[in-house]
Amino acid sequence: GQNIDQPTEMTATEGAIVQINCTYQTSGFNGLFWYQQHAGEAPTFLSYNVLDGLEEKGRFSSFLSRSKGYSYLLLKELQMKDSASYLCAVRVRHSGYALNFGKGTSLLVTP
């Protein structure tokens, strides 16, 4: 499998900006995904990067550096509803279209 690392827990304040990092070691890299998962619910897609650079989508942005095996998810203007787990996932060529997930980062947004 792939080695995908992300922090276990983070805390941030409502209205602030938070950056969740993800590092990976893999061969045959074929895309990196970020998912959000609220407690007791299914993961939902947030963003996808396959080329280096920043992808922006409203309050959420995701960055990828393939040479460094590094990505981050940036959440701006944090809201209480952003409290959730954030899952980094890598797709590799030899596993078809399956995603390999990190263990997830639990984000707590406080007032």
Partner 1 sequence: DVKVTQSSRYLVKRTGEKVFLECVQDMDHENMFWYRQDPGLGLRLIYFSYDVKMKEKGDIPEGYSVSREKKERFSLILESASTNQTSMYLCASSKAGQNTEAFFGQGTRLTVV
Q: Where along the sequence are the contacts to partner 1 (CB under 8 A)?
A: 1, 30-31, 33, 41-45, 48, 50, 87, 89, 95-104
Residues in the chain: 111
Q: How far is the CB of 16 from partner 1 (least distance, A)?
A: 26
Which of 6/63 has CB closer to partner 1? Answer: 6
Least distance between partner 1 and beta carbon 40 (Å): 8
Q: Rg for the chain (alpha carbons), in Å?
A: 13
Q: Which sign, positive or negative, has the C-alpha torsion 45, 40, 98, 88?
A: positive
Nearer to partner 1, 36 or 78 (CB): 36
How many alpha carbons lie under 13 Å from residue 104 in its C-beta half-sphere?
14
Closer of 67 and 97 to partner 1 (Cβ) = 97
Alpha-carbon torsion (94, 85, 60, 67), positive or negative: negative
CB of 82 to partner 1, least distance (A): 19
Which residue type is seen at 19?
Q
